[in-house]
Amino acid sequence: MWARIRSNINLLLYISLLVIGVFLRLYRISTESISLEEYACIANLNAEGLFKFISLQRHTYPFGGILFPLLQFLWVRFAENNIVSLRVLSILFWVATYILIVGFVHREERKSTLPEGVSVFVAVGLCFSPALIFLGQEARMYMAYVFFAWCSIISLYYLLQKPESYLRCFLWCISNACLLWTHHAGIVLWCVEGLIVGVLFIRKFEVRKYLLLGGVFHFVLVLLWLVWILTIPPQPPELYQYYLPPTIRNLVEFPLAFNIVRYGGICPADAYLSFYYLPQPIGAIVRCSHKALNTLLLIISGFSILGFVAWTAQSIQNGYKLPLYLLILFTLPPIFLFLIARLGPPVFTSRYLVFLLPFHFCGLGMLISPARKIFRLEFTLIVCLLLFYQIGYMVSAKWRTDWKGVGEVISARAGVNDLIIVWDPFWTKLFEINCPNVGIPVSDVYTYGGIVEIAKVYLSSLRRDKINASIWVVAPDVHGKGVPTLMSHIENQYFSASVRMLPGELRIWLYKLDLTASPPTRFYTALLPAFTKSLPYLLEEETIEKVRNYYKQHRFDHDRTGFHLVRTGLVLAMNRKFSVAKDLITEAWNKNPNRIVEDCKFFSELVSEDFFENNVSLALFREGLKCYLEKDFTLAVDSFLQISFENPEDPLPYWFLAKAYDNLSNTTQADFFWRGVFNLEPILPIGWHLSYEPAVITLDRDALTLARQREDRLGIVTDELFE
């Protein structure tokens, strides 16, 4: 009777912890911003058809496993396609993982292959582990990765007990197939399991024919997997610059530090204002205890290995092999991943080993199993308190980068004529999907200097029309510098600036720029303002789809080309702000006449329609530009020569003549007109220079050297450009 009562109490405890665990993972599920990694998984769920989805997903997330995105693709066909629904899918995988592992450990306890009380400790750990709380609420593959890893571990254990069971072999093979296609790091667990199976294959002749079938299946699957991996399109090296080869310290720390918030690399939170919800004296004490409590949790995690070793030594004497099996799977995967990361790509990341987390709590349960029940209870409470501390740290800040918080601040304070600039176009899509109703245009730049250039033109243009506006700059703190870097680039004589920091996985610096004095406007050519006067009309007449397509084609052109000004102009045109869009595009062309050539392929009406009947120079300029775009450089020379006679003080026709003669391989004449450009304007931006193309477009060092030598020979000053 007492055994039945105790069993019922344990069942009630398991169910209670399961309910609490679900609640913890539902906490803030709708208010947390969509992270970059989540977006990589869910970006293509609206694709038409399965094969189209696979193609798009392979392009969006080339190194991610394809199985979990496929499950998400099927999930949204039956549930809603929103972030809450997709995060619920991960919670369901956590529930399945909890039931699977707790059920397995409890069953083995009843068979006495594991000591009494381990299942309770495992249930507590699976419920309160900060890492599993974070991953269990994330619309990514990691909770499914843990589930399939333990399906593989458990199915192999039962297969080794009965190798002749084809059903068990089938379950093991399917588990490993799902594991590998959920996350490629599953190959590490494959290696360890392969080692175990290989040893038995050699030592026990009678099981060979049964294990051989599973081996053939895995061999075929690995070949298919290698084809998938080796055909991934080459990726830019910038994607890997943050991954460094692991050290021995990483090997020791990573498997033990999962549950240490921020440090463990799985459950990030910002220390800014941590435990602010506690009374001030208590919060201060808790904050001061941060390092000590983290260290204690790290030490206790290390004790789990001692528990495994001690119980394994004892169980082998009693003929039980499960603890040894689990100990091997606990200790070897980090070593295998470490070797792969040292010899190949540096892929040693704590997330890849997250399936080891339940082993920690198994080991701790084994460690305290010989103790009296009161001591086991006290130790369990100590571990719970340490985990509660980490959870308390997590709820002090947003778990993910707080894009939604940024949108809320801007929406509450921005005016209808304000403009948002996101620092680095890489982040713009993420801002837009988290803040779809912010209500004002959003553009982006690569450089802080580009922000200042846009702010000058945009705010000055509106001020001329007696309109007050602000620029909002959203700058994720990618490198963790923790300082408002833009401030050093702002010209205080023209701007006033305020800054606010929003904590989260990455801090976001939110700047608000206001114009205090109009900066001087300098046009290097008088032809340009007159030539672009009709741009607002052309932008208004263009179909939005055409403007949007041109925007997409050059979406990630760098600020060096001046396209940040054009890109912002196109964004404003799509928001029907045509006049200020014209001013930004004009400034881009003023700084870089190469942009005139490139952009007029889009603004073709400027060269195909005669808007300049009353202005001979502009009509000639239109004709010359049209010939230049059609690569008829001889006729272009004729037009620009006439313009230069009409406008002898304007460097723009000289620039086109120099470029045309270079295209005609007439270096002598080209040099003459290059000198003419810089005699009229000795100091010009790099877009006007001979060295522009090798320095900005092709990044050809040898060609740049030749161009600079030619500029030196012509007496063109370039020192300031290359400081």
CATH number of the structural domain spanning residue 628:
1.25.40.10
Q: Are strands 442-445 and 470-476 parallel, antiparallel or unpaired?
A: unpaired
CA distances from 98 to 30, 86, 132, 143 (A): 23, 19, 10, 11
Q: List the CATH number of the domain containing 440.
A: 3.40.190
d(CA 329, CA 341): 19
Cross-strand bridge partners of residue 419: 471
Who contacts 29 (Cβ-Cβ below 8 Å, separation ≥6)? 84, 87, 88, 137
**Are residues 116 and 21 part of one domain?**
yes
Neighbours of 663 (CB within 10 A): 15
Cross-strand bridge partners of residue 472: 420, 512
**Are residues 383 and 353 part of one domain?**
yes
Q: Taking 70 as the threshold, does the pLDDT of residue 610 lie above it?
A: no
Domain count, the chain: 3
**Are residues 349 and 449 part of one domain?**
no
**Are residues 473 and 352 part of one domain?**
no
Backbone angles phi, psi at 717, to 5 degrees: -80, 125
**Are residues 344 and 426 part of one domain?**
no
Ranges 56-60, 341-345, 398-402, 427-431: which has the least confidence: 341-345
DSSP labels, 568-587: HHHHHHHTT-HHHHHHHHHH
Q: Which pLDDT tens digit goes with each residue over 230-247?
A: 888 776 665 666 677 888
The residue range of the domain holding 502 is 403-521
Handedness of CA 346, 350, 355, 360 (dihedral sign): positive
Q: Collapse the DSSP code of 156 into the 3-class scheme (helix H, G, I; strand E, B; otherwise coil) and give the result.
A: helix
Ranges 65-79, 80-94, 613-627: which has the least confidence: 613-627
Who contacts 123 (Cβ-Cβ below 8 Å, separation ≥6)? 13, 14, 17, 18, 98, 102
Q: Taking 90 as the threshold, does the pLDDT of residue 602 lie above it?
A: no
Going by C-alpha positions, the residue among 550, 556, 562 that lies closest to residue 588 is: 562
d(CA 377, CA 379): 5
- Provide the b/e sequence for 210-238 (b: ≥16 CB within 10 Å): bbeebeebbeebeeebeebeeeeeeeeee
Greatest extent of the chain over all pairs of C-alpha atoms, in Å: 110
**Are residues 603 and 455 part of one domain?**
no
Is residue 465, in this structure, part of any structural domain at all? Answer: yes
d(CA 454, CA 605): 25
pLDDT of 66: 92
**Are residues 440 and 296 part of one domain?**
no
Is residue 650, in this structure, part of any structural domain at all? Answer: yes
**Are residues 202 and 83 part of one domain?**
yes
SS3 string, 33-62, reads CCCHHHHHHHCCCCCCCHHHHHHHHHHHCC
* 476 contacts 514 by C-beta, under 8 angstroms: no
Is residue 320, in this structure, part of any structural domain at all? Answer: yes
**Which among 488, 503, 521 is the end of a domain?**
521
d(CA 38, CA 403): 13
d(CA 115, CA 327): 15
pLDDT of 345: 76
Q: Taking 90 as the threshold, does the pLDDT of residue 2 lie above it?
A: no
pLDDT of 283: 77
Question: What is the pLDDT averaged over residues 256-271?
Answer: 80
Going by C-alpha positions, the residue among 122, 433, 176, 142 that lies closest to residue 304 is: 122
Backbone angles phi, psi at 179, to 5 degrees: -60, -50
Q: Indicate the pTM of the whole model.
A: 0.88
At position 626, the amino acid (one-letter code) is: K
Ranges 22-26, 53-57, 72-76, 279-283: which has the least confidence: 279-283
Is residue 567, in this structure, part of any structural domain at all? Answer: no
**Are residues 344 and 447 part of one domain?**
no
pLDDT of 237: 61
**Are residues 428 and 389 part of one domain?**
no
Question: What is the pLDDT averaged over residues 104-119?
Answer: 90
Q: How confident is the model at residue 98 (pLDDT cuts 50, 70, 90)?
A: very high
**Are residues 59 and 124 part of one domain?**
yes
What secondary structure letter does DSSP report for 522?
-
Q: Which two tokens stand for residue 311?
A: 């119980």
Q: How confident is the model at residue 5 (pLDDT cuts 50, 70, 90)?
A: low
Is residue 544, in this structure, part of any structural domain at all? Answer: no
Write down the mean pLDDT value for the chain.
Answer: 86
**Which among 521, 552, 570 is the end of a domain?**
521
Is residue 568, in this structure, part of any structural domain at all? Answer: no
d(CA 79, CA 372): 49
State how far Cα 661 lies from the chain centre. Answer: 46
At position 661, the amino acid (one-letter code) is: Y
**Which among 394, 423, 442 is the end of a domain?**
394
What dihedral do alpha carbons 456, 458, 462, 464 form, nearest 10°? 40
Neighbours of 540 (CB within 10 A): 11
Is residue 576, in this structure, part of any structural domain at all? Answer: no
Is residue 181, in this structure, part of any structural domain at all? Answer: yes
Angle CA(543)–CA(549)–CA(553) in degrees, nearest 5? 155
Name the strand (E) or helix (H) holding 317: helix 290-317
Greater model confidence, 158 or 206: 158
**Are residues 418 and 388 part of one domain?**
no
